[in-house]
Amino acid sequence: MLTSVAGFPRIGDRRELKFASEGYLSGKISKDELRKAAAAIRAQNWKFLKDSGISLIPSNDFSFYSRVADAAAALGFIPERFREDGLTGEDLQFALGRGFSGKNGPAEPLSMKKWFDTNLHYLVPEFDDTSVITSDCTKAAGEFNEARDLGINTFPTLIGPFTLLKLTEFTGKRGIEDVADETAEAYASILARLAGHFAEYVAFEEPSLVRDLTEEDRALFERLYNIVLKRKGSAKVILQTYFGDVRDAWSEICRLPFDAVGLDFVKGKKTLELVEKNGFPRDRLLIAGVVDGRNIWRTRYDDAAAILGKLSELGLSAAASASCSLVHVPVTVKSETKLSEDVLRWFSFAREKVQEIAEIAAVASGAEGSDKALSANRKLFATERVKRNDAVRQAVASLKEEDFRRVPAFAERERIQKARFGLPLLPTTTIGSFPQTAEVRALRKKLRTGEIGKAEYDESIKALIKRIIGFQEEIGLDVLVHGEYERNDMVEYFGERLDGFLFTENGWVLSYGTRCVKPPVIFGDVSRKSPITVDTSVYAQSLTKKPVKGMLTGPVTIYNWSFPRNDIPEKEVIYELALAVRGEVLDLEKAGISIIQIDEAALKEKLPLRKEDWDRDYLSFAIPSFRLVTSGVRPETQIHTHMCYSEFSDIIKSIDDMDADVISFEASRGKLEILDSLKENNFRTEAGPGVYDIHSPLVPSVEEIKTRIRLILEKLPAEKVWINPDCGLKTRHEEEAFPSLRNLVEAAKEIRDELKK
Ligand code: GLN
Ligand code: ZN
């Protein structure tokens, strides 16, 4: 049985690519050295895949910044501001991702979005009136040849035309329809040239096929590939899909003359059913993604082999693979030295997953010696992965409807809280964090290296809190925060203090550019050992008469930014997290904290890719989990939440159903369409649409903020509106954050006065 891998982590075992890129960008190493570092990582990956016996090995899965931006560059989907200074190759990629200062002044970087429902980001291509479609295969052919020179036969893999067009922002006169044929011709020419370089297989990745597709989308997909596939010559073409099933485009996929199709059998809940019910052409290779490419657990071989067995019963020729590129998992478990063998034997990172794919193929085809691998795997799965925490399981199992309902209802609470807090109209606040200054970072480092003790560290944090409370009082904010100086990360901070979490040493995965994150691992049942934030919040509140918000991270966000366990249902893991956060909420309330904010920054981003799955697979427990966190507080305790992106127009009702008292969200970029939907839907929750962009270093003027507030007041009743920035301030400098907040308070005051007149 053949085996295939769609993509492999490009960062290197020890994040070599990150360090090389940063070295190059700061002028410490030459372009040649950067290229050598990148080539060394690619060579190591290819050799590993070959030595592991993988039959179909990818090339061009590498990137210095974003594979979507690589495709955009190859196809000429580049806006004017980047075509001035003759930027090419890695320099163009860095410019697209970071912006640059060229002959015509500074150019803003492309905007960044999350790659489907993963935590990896891509750069959004822009196509303007000056964009010229090209068919540059320098990178793809270059990497293919580089592998061939090492004696390794690879298949170049590219982001396909359908996905590229769907992800591009068309800012000029032309749109998808106008450029579709020309784009397909360009892809066809790239394909023809790769075939000319003797590539046996070429893959086009089309994850956009797993979304809801309209009639037109399907027609577009078919039209594009009718053009592309005309020129395939001797090459065999792989259509690679991932992140779900391709239920909408099934007939088009089967009709088009692809030689191989990669399907996701892990996230694609309906994939097997589609194959069984609708049939799949027998003359094609079906690359079956049976190993989870997005989580870090070992695969149960019997399950994977059962799927492959069914495919062979159907008379199909299948290859074993992972559900998607392995770029979403860390490189290797071998880099972990601190975790116990009991834990590590359950881990499977990219290298281990490759070995699993090879073993599963052997098991499925009954290859000689494969019974040993199978019995070892069965032995592992016959043991217990985690020790149950019966109290937690019991608590989740016995949840009742009233645990999810806060009383009294919103309107009554709003009245009670308005009376309790006596805040002015348009109350001002911030999202929580203040700039993490060099001093804060140094402090954390000193604690880590043992240069200072915990007591000294805590005292220094207290001093920072005192200073920032003083600042907020001085400028006249209405609802204060403690600044979150003690947290380096809003998920890690809580994960480290909860039972059930593990932390890896080197479990880095790509986030954006060559930057990585190290997500916590939810290993077992989650519970709270003792109060986490109470002392800090109580201290901060003791310094002022104004309310200071208690700051927590919500269960869905903790879940979404971790590697979650997969041995119990998602809903149960989230409810365990919710119960832990609920305990903290109640302790904060008991300690006298009157306003508590529970951030659900990542709630929207994990919405299933298809509308019909939204409720059943996500919202039906994500939204109640928030209510579970908050339902136990008294009516006069005010619950806030925060969301980073305001693109939640299509789930407004669900957001209202969280039943928070106040929500803040990013709204200063973009067109404020969200306000229209809030208005249309009669949004009940009080709302703080961000009045300035914290991602930019610019200090907004009082006038600019007033304009923004006026826009908001056109749509929302003043009694419902809060005034705050878009998001936390931790990534800004104080020199930017402080004057911005002064202006924010001033703007709110002036608008209040205007309203009084
Ligand atoms: N309270 C957090 C902060 O201010 C929220 C961060 C976020 O939404 N990403 O930093
Ligand atoms: Zn945010």
Instruction: Answer for the pair 2, 53: CB distance below 8 angstroms, yes or no.
Output: no
Centre of ligand 1 to C-alpha 324, Å, is 30
The binding-site residues of ligand 1, defined as CB within 6 angstroms of any ligand atom, are 431-433, 484, 490, 551, 599, 601, 642, 644, 727-728, 730
Query: So what's the pLDDT on residue 101?
Result: 86
- Alpha-carbon distance 665 to 728, whole Å? 10
Atom 3, ligand 1: which residue's CA is nearest? 728
What is the token pair recorded at 331? 């490189």
- Alpha-carbon distance 179 to 169, whole Å? 13
Centre of ligand 1 to C-alpha 644, Å, is 8
What does pTM read for this prediction?
Answer: 0.96
Proximal ligand: closest to the CA of 646: 2
Centre of ligand 2 to C-alpha 432, Å, is 9
Q: Which atom of ligand 1 is nearest to the CA of 551?
A: 1
Query: For residue 297, which phi and psi values (nearest 5 degrees)?
Result: -95, 155
Query: Among 640, 734, 646, 653, which Cα is nearest to 690's?
Result: 646
Atom 7, ligand 1: which residue's CA is nearest? 601
Query: So what's the pLDDT on residue 104?
Result: 79
Q: Which atom of ligand 1 is nearest to the CA of 430?
A: 4
Centre of ligand 1 to C-alpha 432, Å, is 6
Atom 6, ligand 1: which residue's CA is nearest? 728
The one-character DSSP state at 682 is T
- Alpha-carbon distance 236 to 202, whole Å? 6
Buried/exposed 499-530: b ≥16 CB within 10 Å, e otherwise: ebbbebebbbbbbbbbebbbbbbbbbbbbbee
Proximal ligand: closest to the CA of 690: 2
Proximal ligand: closest to the CA of 489: 1
User: Beta strand 638-643 with 595-599: parallel, antiparallel or unpaired?
Assistant: parallel
Point out which residues pair with 549 in neighbouring strands: 595
DSSP 3-state of 316: coil
144 found inside a domain: no
What proportions of the chain, in percent to the nearest 5, are helix, strand and coil?
45, 15, 40
Number of other CB atoms surrounding residue 351 within 10 Å: 23
User: Beta strand 105-107 with 121-123: parallel, antiparallel or unpaired?
Assistant: unpaired
Instruction: Answer for the pair 168, 124: CB distance below 8 angstroms, yes or no.
Output: yes
- Alpha-carbon distance 12 to 10, whole Å? 6
What is the token pair recorded at 473? 């009082």
470 found inside a domain: yes
Q: Which atom of ligand 1 is nearest to the CA of 487?
A: 10
48 found inside a domain: no
The identity of residue 599, as a single letter, is D
Atom 10, ligand 1: which residue's CA is nearest? 728
101 found inside a domain: no
Sign of the alpha-carbon torsion through 209, 215, 216, 218:
positive
- Alpha-carbon distance 11 to 23, whole Å? 14
Instruction: Answer for the pair 405, 457: CB distance below 8 angstroms, yes or no.
Output: no
99 found inside a domain: no
- Alpha-carbon distance 126 to 134, whole Å? 14
Proximal ligand: closest to the CA of 431: 1
E strand or H helix at 498:
strand 498-502
Q: Which atom of ligand 1 is nearest to the CA of 432?
A: 4
Centre of ligand 1 to C-alpha 12, Å, is 30
Structural domain including 645 reads 426-756
Q: Mean pLDDT across the chain, nearest whole number?
A: 96
- Alpha-carbon distance 655 to 643, whole Å? 10
Query: So what's the pLDDT on residue 671?
Result: 67
What is the token pair recorded at 219? 């027609």
Centre of ligand 2 to C-alpha 726, Å, is 7
Q: Which atom of ligand 1 is nearest to the CA of 728?
A: 4
Query: Among 630, 704, 694, 636, which Cα is nearest to 665's?
Result: 694
Which residues lie below 8 Å from residue 243, measured CB to CB, with a gap of 6+?
116, 117, 118, 207, 210, 264, 267, 324, 609
DSSP 3-state of 391: helix
Query: Among 637, 527, 629, which Cα is nearest to 591's?
Result: 637
Q: Which atom of ligand 1 is nearest to the CA of 644?
A: 8
Proximal ligand: closest to the CA of 727: 2
247 found inside a domain: no
Query: So what's the pLDDT on residue 670?
Result: 66
- Alpha-carbon distance 511 to 493, whole Å? 19
Q: Is the link from the previous residue into 408 a cis peptide, with omega within 30 of 0? A: yes
What is the greatest pairwise CA distance in the chain? Answer: 87
Q: Which atom of ligand 1 is nearest to the CA of 730?
A: 10
Atom 9, ligand 1: which residue's CA is nearest? 601
Query: Among 67, 4, 10, which Cα is nearest to 40's?
Result: 10
218 found inside a domain: no
The identity of residue 699, as a single letter, is V
Query: So what's the pLDDT on residue 197?
Result: 81
Atom 5, ligand 1: which residue's CA is nearest? 728
E strand or H helix at 344:
helix 341-344
Residue-wise pLDDT for 473-515, tens only, equals 999 999 999 999 999 899 999 999 999 999 999 999 999 999 9
254 found inside a domain: no
CATH of residue 494: 3.20.20.210
- Alpha-carbon distance 93 to 120, whole Å? 16
Query: How many alpha carbons fall within 13 Å on the CB side of residue 544?
Result: 26
Atom 8, ligand 1: which residue's CA is nearest? 601
Domains identified in the chain, total number: 1
Choice from 477, 642, 694 to test ligand 1 binding pocket (greatest atom count within 8 A of CB): 642
Query: Which stretches of the chain drop beneath a pLDDT of 50?
Result: none
- Alpha-carbon distance 134 to 73, whole Å? 8
Choice from 645, 727, 732, 741 to test ligand 1 binding pocket (greatest atom count within 8 A of CB): 727
- Alpha-carbon distance 469 to 476, whole Å? 11
Centre of ligand 2 to C-alpha 644, Å, is 3
Centre of ligand 1 to C-alpha 694, Å, is 11
Atom 1, ligand 1: which residue's CA is nearest? 432
> Mind telling me the catalytic residues?
695
Point out which residues pair with 263 in neighbouring strands: 288
